[in-house]
Amino acid sequence: MKFAVAFGCLAVVGMLAAAPAKAQSVKIGYVDLQQALSETSEGKAIKAKLERLLKDKQREFDKMQDEVKRIKDEIETQGAMMKEDLRRTKMQDYQKKMVDLQEFYMGNQKELADEEAKLTKPLLDRFEKVLKDIGAAEGYTLILPSAAVVYGQPSLDLTSRLVTKINAGAGK
């Protein structure tokens, strides 16, 4: 997928470079959105909130995992001495708790991804607004995400400028 994005971007750059000489000059910049997310004060707050949520979910997961392990150990150590009905009940309980644990894990992965998207969307929208302003004010023909750039001169990297502007309140 990243290759397709990069290839598409290269095709656009190629078309722009092949434009007639009398057209305006091409000015391309790039920005590392992940770096900007991690360096802005808002991005740091989002990361801290997500880490707290992850830590809470991890504690809950660990409790569930300990319960599953406890039942498994009980079956392994005492299973031969248990009555058949009790052993069958313990095995069913173990299997149910294993399924619950897996569902909890998968649900948490989705929940965390959804929460991350919800929290970062407003900041990413601000990034877009600020980058459009930079592009318009400074005559950029194109500003690309750094993931689509194979090589770029450091002077064309707009990441630190984006972080500075966002931290100063731009794009609200």
Contact 32, 146 (CB under 8 A): yes
**Which sign does the torsion angle of CA 132, 149, 1, 103 carry?**
negative
Q: What is the pLDDT of residues 85-134, one digit of tens each?
A: 998 999 999 999 999 999 999 999 999 999 999 999 999 999 999 999 99
Q: What is the pLDDT of residues 154-170, one digit of tens each?
A: 999 999 999 999 999 99
CA dist., res. 36 & res. 49, Å (int): 17
End-to-end distance of the chain based on CA atoms, in angstroms? 31
Q: Which residue has the tokens 């248990």?
A: 82
pTM exceeding 0.85: no
Domains of the chain: 17-167 (3.30.910.20)
Arithmetic mean of pLDDT, 17-42: 82
